[in-house]
Amino acid sequence: MSREFNVPPVVFPSGGNPSGIPQQRRAQPTAPFQPTTTTTRSTPNPNLPFMSFEIGSTVPSTSFHTPVFGNNSNIGIGGGGIGGIGGFEDELPLLEELGINTRQIWRKTTSILNPFRINANLHEDADLSGPFLFLMAFGLFQLLAGKLHFGIILGWVTVASLFLYVVFNMLAGKNGNLDVYRCLSLIGYCMLPMVIFSALSLFVPQGGVVVFGMAAVFVIWSTRVCTRLLVELASCGDEHRGLIAYACCLIYMLFSLLVIF
C-alpha cells in the first residue's frame, strides 16, 4: 500500500517575491560605446621637452648644433686637406712609398752598361728592386729557351751573396764593412751582362764555339764591374782585388753554364 503525505500548499504574497528570497536585478541595457571627443588640444608636459604626441606642436630642439667644417674652398682634389692632411699633390708616388726609385734603378743600369766608366757613387744606396727585375728577366729568357730555372737562379744568387760576404770579410778582417744586403744588390745589378747573354743565346746555335766565346766575354764583363764596385764601396778592397775578382768570376761562370747547357 502506498502511503500518502499531506503537504500544505505554499501561498505567495501578491506584492512580489516570497519572503526570504532576494529579488534579482535586471541588467539595464546600455548604449553602444561612444568615443569621447575633446575640443582642446593636449598640452605637452613641461617636464618632457623633447616628447610630444601632437604633430606640429613641438619646437625644434636647439641642443644639437650643426657641425662646422673649415673653409669649403680647401676641400677637394688638389687643395688643402681637412684637419691638416695634405692633398694628393703633396703625396709621394706609389713606387717611392714602396721604396722603388725608378730613376735610380735606371742610372745604375746605365752605369753598368759601360764597364770602363763605372760610377760607384750610384751604388752606395743598395736596393733589391733592380736585381729582382734582372733575375726575372734572366729566368724569362731561359724559359723561352725551354729551361725552367727560376728557383735555381734565386737560390744561386743567395748562396753566391753569402759566399762573397764570407770571403771578403775573412780577407778584410775586423775592418770589413760589407754586408749581405749590399752583396745581393751588387751581384744582382752585375747580372745585366748575363741577361744580355741569355737573350742573345736564343739566336745562336747551342754547343758551338760562338756560344763559348760570347760566354767568356760576358763573364769578364760582369766580373770586372762587380769587382770594381766592391773595391770602391767596401773598405780594404784594393789590397785583395785579385781574390775578389776570382770569387766574382766563379759566380758568373756558374750562371753562364746555365745558358750554355
| pLDDT tens per residue, range 129-156 | 999 999 999 999 999 999 999 999 999 9
- CB of 180 within 8 A of CB of 126? no
Can you read off the three cell numbers belonging to residue 88? 694628393
pLDDT at 2: 59
- CB of 122 within 8 A of CB of 107? yes
Number of H-type helices and E-type strands within the chain: 8, 0
- CB of 75 within 8 A of CB of 69? yes
Cβ within 8 Å of residue 129, ≥6 positions away: 99, 100, 101, 105
Alpha-carbon separation of residue 103 from 99, 157, 179 (angstroms): 12, 24, 24
**Assigned domain for 229 exists:** yes
**Assigned domain for 51 exists:** no
pLDDT at 1: 52
Q: Is 61 left (phi over 0), alpha (psi -120 to 50) or beta?
A: beta
**Assigned domain for 74 exists:** no
- Residue that wins the pLDDT comparison between 217 and 68: 217
Report the number of distinct structural domains present in the chain: 1
**Assigned domain for 70 exists:** no
Q: Region 1-17: what's the mean pLDDT? A: 59
Tell whether pTM > 0.85: no
pLDDT at 81: 47
Which long-range contacts (C-beta less than 8 Å, at least 24 apart) are formed by 1-5?
A: none
pLDDT at 77: 46
**Assigned domain for 88 exists:** no
**Assigned domain for 111 exists:** yes
Q: What are phi and psi of 34, to 5 degrees?
A: -115, 120
Q: Find the domain containing 231 and state its range.
A: 102-260
Rounded CA gap, 161 and 168, in Å?
11
Reported as a single tens digit per residue, the pLDDT across 72-96 is 444 444 444 444 455 567 676 776 6
pLDDT at 39: 47
**Assigned domain for 97 exists:** no
Specify which of 93-107, 170-184, 217-231, 234-248 reaches the highest per-range mean pLDDT: 217-231
| pLDDT beyond 80 at 45 | no
**Assigned domain for 1 exists:** no
Rounded CA gap, 48 and 63, in Å?
14
Can you read off the three cell numbers belonging to residue 233? 764601396
| pLDDT beyond 80 at 208 | yes
